[in-house]
Structure 1
Amino acid sequence: MNMEKLIEGLLNLATDLAIKIVTCLVVFVIGNYLIKRVVRMLDKSRLMKETEGTVRTFTASFIKIAMYVILAIIIVNIMGVPMASVITVLASAGVAVGMAMQGALGNIASGIVLMLFKPFKLGDYVSIGSVEGTVRELNLFYTVFVTVDNRRVTVPNSTMMNANIIDVSAEENRRVDLYFTCDRLEDQVLVTQLLTEEVEKTEKMLKEPAPFVSLDGITDTTLKFVVKVWCRNVDYWDVYYDLLTRITAQLEANEISIPSMRVSSLDQPRIRQ
């Protein structure tokens, strides 16, 4: 008799557990489907489309994680685990996980700061330390870049917060600075004239601020000249290579001795977009 009651109790327990497991699976499948659908609807919503890119991706990541947390709590509740016990366990685990995941929590905090202060936006070409590329995504933990040779680079948000961020795309206009060095015995007036003539032929150059050509320095063996030309940001590399090619060819055509040549930009790092 006792054995029959034991078997009956075990069967009832197994049946109850099986029902809960099946229910949890159904809830998970439906919940997972609804979460993905909600995320897609948010991405297509007018509000999200009008939101700045970094804020949009960060908000979508936060909402997605929050919905999965709620789904997990619902499943635990279906299994019959008392919520008081769940809260106690989560509080204890939260302390331990928080200590073990200080870096991850720091990334989240940094991501929130980046989203609020917006030192860059999606689509900007950004340089940070040894990494440079176009910003494709800002989520809870990482910022994703795509380099000019199509490599995907993932940088922790905390790293972004602790580094100097150079946003090459932030301003509408940029300045191209070229430095040319020639032999000390060359005619500096002639060299300046040749440089000025080539600068004036530059089609994509801005008239204001006016271009600048001048002798920039003298050593025992060389003369150093500087050329500064403003252009639209999107035309930077067209102007850069156009001036470099034409000026070099002009100096060579006039038999100007060029012992060495250095090209750089004072305003921006030498970054290729």
Structure 2
Amino acid sequence: AAMLALALLVALAIWLTRRLHVLLAKRLRSRINDLEIQSFEIVRAERIWAALRAGVSALRFLAILAASVTCLDFVLGGFPWTRGFARKLTDVLVRPLKIMGEALVAYFPDLVFLVVLALVVRFVLRLIRLFFDAVARGEVSMEDFETEWAWPTYKIVRVVVVTFAVIVAYPYIPGSDSDAFKGISLLVGVIVSLGSSSAIANLVAGLMITYRRAFKLGDRVMIGDITGDVTDIHAQVTHLRTLKNEEVTIANSQILNGHVVNYSSLADENGLIVHSKVGIGYETPWRQVEAMLLIAVARTPGLLAVPRPFVLYGELGDFCVSYEINAYCNDAHAMQRLHAQLQRSILDVFNEYGVQIMTPNYEADPLQPKVVDKERWYAAPAVCEPTGDAIAK
């Protein structure tokens, strides 16, 4: 009879909890969905339903446990030789629940405070995120505040708000005043302080790089001896895609301690200089060399006529004079292609006018000038087509 009663009580508990779940879903579904909309999705409906399901499951478990303990106590208490064991068993099972219940009642006000604090902090962070999102999109502008600073500044403000919330919540955490909790907190603090020195250095360097406006996403830069495009800027590292399509990760502390060349920052305003050096013999007039170099610039698509290109004269060597042609472009990402096209144009122009390029140096004049006749410019397997643009495509 006792086992039958236990089975009936368990079945009744399961049926009641299921009915309770259906009733809650029917009565509260629209209200919970409205609460999610009114809170701007700060309070999620699925999380509320998960909490309700967990509460109903806990009630079911407690009901089944209580029915089982009651039935077991009734069965064992019916015999004199097991009555003492039944009392001890009941005390062993009920006492932890009693202690937990008393502790829960004692900590309930603190738990309510922690829940309210978490909701307030979440709401504040949501508002801060909406504000900085508007700044990043340009809908909200502030004097002397760049749009690319929006998300780094949001992360800093978020850390400050969360840190303040943790400080406020610490005294209300259950067990925070115990020696074990204090020991664990001390151990975690020591581990973090010993293991995060380089991480903190990279984090500070990342913030300084951001607010100094050293570069931004998409810029063509040279960091140390690595040249590439900035693809990602994180708090700890910066990612570059090199000219050979390689992904390079550089720690922000290394960037801060080194030098950065930004090719894109002034490309649109003042232009970048593409240059190339050639060595020409003393028997060739410098005016002719300068004119040919300017012709080579004019034949290179992408190089600007204004500002005007210019020629610099370098070393007067043992066998040749060093000339450097300098021309402007306004596309930092095309510098490599333009430099290659300029080299081709220089070779074509000097071959046309029969002027021999003397670099590398040689020991004696050759019997025949080292030039390529125009008739042989497209010797097999080369085809007659415009250079430079075809490669770029």
Instruction: Tell me the TM-score normalized by structure 2.
Output: 0.51
Structure with larger Rg: 2
- Aligned residue number for residue 315 of structure 2: 217
Answer yes or no: is the 8 Å Cα contact 2:310–2:326 preserved in 1: yes
Residue 56, structure 1, aligned to residue 155, structure 2: no
Higher relative contact order (CA closer than 8 Å, sequence separation 6+): 1
C-alpha distance in structure 2 between counterparts of 1:198 and 1:142, whole Å: 42
Superposed counterparts of 1:55-94, under 5 Å: 55-62=149-156, 80-82=174-176, 89-90=184-185, 93-94=188-189
C-alpha distance in structure 2 between counterparts of 1:192 and 1:156, whole Å: 45
C-alpha distance in structure 2 between counterparts of 1:236 and 1:158, whole Å: 28
Answer yes or no: is the 8 Å Cα contact 2:135–2:150 preserved in 1: no
Superposed counterparts of 1:1-273, under 5 Å: 1-12=87-98, 38=126, 42=130, 45-50=133-138, 52=146, 54-62=148-156, 80-82=174-176, 89-90=184-185, 93-171=188-266, 172=269, 173-201=271-299, 204-208=303-307, 210-234=308-332, 236-237=335-336, 239-260=338-359
CA 1:48–1:194 in structure 2 vs 1: closer, same or farther (change >3 Å)?
Answer: closer
Give 1:77 deviation, angstroms. Answer: 8.3
Answer yes or no: is the 8 Å Cα contact 2:128–2:154 preserved in 1: no
Answer 1 or 2: which has greater helix percent: 2
C-alpha distance in structure 1 between counterparts of 2:319 and 2:185, whole Å: 74
Partner-residue secondary structure (3-state), 2:229: strand
Give me the identity figure in percent: 18
Give 1:168 deviation, angstroms. Answer: 1.3
Answer 1 or 2: which has greater strand percent: 1
Partner-residue secondary structure (3-state), 1:229: strand
- Aligned residue number for residue 76 of structure 2: none
**Root-mean-square deviation over aligned CA pairs:** 4.1
Consecutive unaligned residues in structure 2, runs of 5 or more: 1-86, 139-144, 361-393
CA 1:166–1:100 in structure 2 vs 1: closer, same or farther (change >3 Å)?
Answer: same
Give 1:39 deviation, angstroms. Answer: 10
Partner-residue secondary structure (3-state), 2:230: strand
| Aligned partner letter, 1:6 | V
